[in-house]
Amino acid sequence: MRVAVGADHAGYDLKEAIKQLLESRGVAVDDVGTVSRDSVDYPDFAVRVATAVAAGRSERGILVCGTGIGMSIAANKVNGVRAAVVGDPDAARLSREHNDANVLAIGARVTSVELALTIVDVFLGTPFEGGRHQRRLDKIEAIERDPSMAPHPQTHGESKH
């Protein structure tokens, strides 16, 4: 597996710990920066990771900033990216099983290193369930292609589509 990792200045130290964990497990890491604690703009790194994942150069991406929120917002602007801000292992598992999230966003200011490394393990080790969840991802992909084609919401029971 190849994983692209990126962080801003607030996430630099946690990114380095995550990178060390991945490399110790034989995961190929594409570190897109930042390379220090000097102030930088998080969208610059979010787009680098997101485009690597969307283009298929990396199977997954991991982004770290203060809360994970800014990175997630920026990464989700890239078609084909499903970035999830995750703060616990259950959310990491569900982001993969139900949403096929391909980019993980973590907040270094709100997540301990130990917890973050557990989240990374769960995120990378959990497969997508498919089934009814694939139908929902298909709808998201349709919206990416043309937002005016967003399906009408179902009000009762499961969709017949």
List C-alpha distances in Å: 98 to 90, 116, 160. 12, 20, 19
pTM: 0.91
117-152 pLDDT, tens digit per residue, is 999 999 999 999 999 999 999 998 988 888 887 767
Active site residue 65: yes
13-34 pLDDT, tens digit per residue, is 999 999 999 999 999 999 999 9
Closest CA to 73 of 108, 122, 107: 107
Encode burial over 117-156: b for 16+ CB neighbours within 10 A, e otherwise. Answer: bebbebbbebebeeeeeeeeeeeeeeeeeeeeeeeeeeee
Backbone angles phi, psi at 60, to 5 degrees: -140, 165
Catalytic residue among 98, 152, 156, 161: 98
Q: Which domains does the chain have, with CATH numbers?
A: 2-129 (3.40.1400.10), 131-161 (no CATH)
Catalytic residue among 65, 133, 152, 161: 65
